[in-house]
Structure 1
Amino acid sequence: MPRWWGFFLVITGATLWGLGGTVSQYVFQEFSIPVNWLVSLRLTVAGLLLLVVQGLWKDRQELVRVWKTKQTAIPLLLFGIFGMLAVQYTYMASISYGNAAVATLLQYTAPVMIIGWLLLRRQSRLTVRDAAAVMLALGGTFLLLTNGSVQALSVPVPAVIWGLLSGAALAFYTLYAVPLLKQFSALVIVGWAMVIGGALLSFLHAPWDIPAASLPLSAWAALTFIVIFGTMIAFWFYIESLQTLQAKETSLLGSLEPLSAVAATVWWLQEPFGFYQWIGMVFIFSMIFLVAVKEEDAVPAPTAKAAKQTDSAS
């Protein structure tokens, strides 16, 4: 696969992830669709489609082999519940209370949380680059949430809480996935994790339990985009790009996710975004750039696959 095709795949995948969050905000606002149902639908259908892709075009034996020992089956279950489901639910909940732009940017504080965790575990030393990334993340988050005024938040408190929980869940999701991704295809791990999360959430709101007697065609079109383009194809394209691109390149181009989410939220949904919030967004993008460049040589190939988790989210 030529490198230009790899660039096309990662740019398309990251852009679709961001747009998927904005379209989710649209269906929450316009059709009052419950978060539980949308996350259940998104995870179940997209997960099954990814497993079908693995079965048709890659090693189908991995679909079963991952369940054959408790050393891999139990971690996969935990990853599906506390990783995949937690990330997807908290992210969507943040969007439902606020907007896709803020939810996506708050989720991108995960690298700073990972740095903090590794420092606490003494698995890493604090460098000047790490300190700068932390300061950019904290400053950017402050400006994003307050628009420069400490008198009141510019974003509803529930949206902030769910957004920060989404960042924490993404940090766990990324770290916990590494051992599994060293043994199995990313499509297998993430596909099964989505199915596990969707199945668990089905007890609260099953995908087939449509929340309205009759949803308009525009609602179904938006839901189809979220599941197919904003989740399944976005993830698949990102993973395929890793065949020809380095971890640094995919990580940097993956930052198009919050950019596309912010752009679509502001210009399509007409959400207000203040001057200091734009500065905060620049701070967070700078933090992402610092972290991505730092990991260029430090991240081995299996871990590079884990880097794609930054979305899954979405």
Structure 2
Amino acid sequence: MVQQQHHLRGVLLASAACILWGISGVAASTLFTLNPHVTALWLTQVRMITAGFLLLVMGQVVGVHPFQIWHDKKAGIRVVSYGLLGLVPVQLFYFEAVKFGNAPIATILQFLGPFIISIYYFLFKHLIPTRPEAIGMVMAFIGTLLIVTHGHLNSLAISPIVLFWGGLSAIGVATNTLIPRPLLPRFGAISVTGWGLFIAGICLNVFGPLWRATVTLTLAEWGLIALIIILGTIFPFLMFAHSLAYILPTTASLLDAFEPLSATVFSVIFLSVQLTGFDLFGGLLIILAVMVLSLNGHKMLRFILRRKVD
């Protein structure tokens, strides 16, 4: 019973995190449209450095001692790897794929991340995905595919550069999930996430110094950036990191399907985007996939059969 409660808690945390990421995606899309001077690199730098710094300050205030992680050399190397190999590709490379292609193609490519995790566990851990995970993986992928393509699979044209950035972002989904996992029980999500974001943001200055950028923003645009940093970065990364204490990385990554679903819903609400039957059916598949992951498959089947008998 306790184990089921922990699993449900992990599923809810990961799902809520992905919904917030979807909201931040809508905010970022709006920002790129309003201000063409805002680049993916600049926005990623501001997002990472500010969010990372705020998390580290928060950690110091609440007494989690964020600097303690640097007393362990191996932990320090892993948190740097988390920032550079996990957070950079899952954020910056995804935006680059959107820039050179479009959001649907980039989302499809990034959603290949759970498959990469499954391949990793199969090759190096000899762990075969359970039947609910396999069913959930297929359902969630099909649902996401329907949402981002509206069923027109033959209309996708993936150039090599889009495939390159999208493939790296998919690998980032896997590394972003796997790398920090051993650190979380020892140092906590605030310290690990804070240092990962801050280090990644600082290192990105090698490709484009933040202080040399000339970007003029309106008050509304600053508000969008604040939303991306607080609701789209700090809260979801903490929740997603905490979810890994209760569920497997494969399960947590599959719940990332909520990101395109929430992005679609909030685009309809705030950007007047029209939903099609493919959107509705894809969303239903994603919700069912979450149910398959959250509940025991045999119990669900017995429940359905019992309802038919009654």
Provide Cα deviations, 1:171-213, integer angstroms capped at 9, x if missing partner: 121112111113211111110010111011112233444443x
Q: 2:190 aligns with which of 181, 187, 200?
A: 187
**Whole-angstrom distance in 2 between the partners of 1:95 and 1:66:** 35
The aligned residue for residue 228 of structure 2 is 226
1:21 correspondence with 2:22? no
Aligned residues of 2:22 and 2:261 also touching (Cα < 8 A) = yes
1:41 correspondence with 2:54? no
The aligned residue for residue 79 of structure 1 is 82
**Whole-angstrom distance in 2 between the partners of 1:255 and 1:137:** 6
**Which amino acid counterpart does residue 21 of structure 2 have in structure 1?**
W
1:53 correspondence with 2:53? no
1:149 correspondence with 2:162? no
Provide Cα deviations, 1:66-109, integer angstroms capped at 9, x if missing partner: 1123211111211110011121112333444434x775676454
Counterparts in 2 of 1:154 and 1:271: CA distance versus 1, 3 Å: farther
Q: Which moved further from structure 2: 104-113 or 26-35?
A: 104-113
Counterparts in 2 of 1:114 and 1:85: CA distance versus 1, 3 Å: same
Matches within 5 A, 1:143-182: 143-153=146-156, 162-163=165-166, 165-182=168-185
Counterparts in 2 of 1:195 and 1:133: CA distance versus 1, 3 Å: same
Deviation of 1:47 (Å): 0.2
Q: Secondary structure at the match of 2:71?
A: coil
The aligned residue for residue 275 of structure 1 is 277
The aligned residue for residue 125 of structure 1 is 128
Provide Cα deviations, 1:124-171, integer angstroms capped at 9, x if missing partner: 124432432343244335434543234312999866764554333111
Deviation of 1:288 (Å): 4.2
Q: Secondary structure at the match of 2:207?
A: coil
**Whole-angstrom distance in 2 between the partners of 1:35 and 1:119:** 34
**Whole-angstrom distance in 2 between the partners of 1:192 and 1:220:** 24
Q: Which moved further from structure 2: 283-292 or 51-60?
A: 283-292
Unaligned runs of 5+ residues in structure 1 are: 1-5, 295-314
Deviation of 1:112 (Å): 3.5
Q: Secondary structure at the match of 1:267?
A: helix
Provide Cα deviations, 1:7-39, integer angstroms capped at 9, x if missing partner: 9x9587554332111101111122111100000
Aligned residues of 1:144 and 1:276 also touching (Cα < 8 A) = yes
Q: Secondary structure at the match of 2:88?
A: helix
Could you state the TM-score of these two structures normalised by the residue count of structure 2? Answer: 0.74
**Whole-angstrom distance in 2 between the partners of 1:230 and 1:20:** 5
Structure with greater helix share of residues:
2
Larger C-alpha radius of gyration, 1 or 2? 2
Unaligned runs of 5+ residues in structure 2 are: 1-8, 297-310
**Whole-angstrom distance in 2 between the partners of 1:133 and 1:54:** 35
The aligned residue for residue 307 of structure 1 is none
Q: 2:94 aligns with which of 79, 91, 96?
A: 91
Could you state the TM-score of these two structures normalised by the residue count of structure 1? Answer: 0.73
Aligned residues of 2:144 and 2:261 also touching (Cα < 8 A) = no
**Whole-angstrom distance in 1 between the partners of 2:223 and 2:288:** 35
Aligned residues of 2:45 and 2:201 also touching (Cα < 8 A) = yes
Q: Secondary structure at the match of 2:187?
A: coil
Aligned residues of 1:40 and 1:206 also touching (Cα < 8 A) = no
**Whole-angstrom distance in 1 between the partners of 2:265 and 2:212:** 33
1:201 correspondence with 2:213? no
Aligned residues of 2:193 and 2:237 also touching (Cα < 8 A) = no
Cα RMSD of the aligned pairs, angstroms, is 3.7
Deviation of 1:263 (Å): 0.9
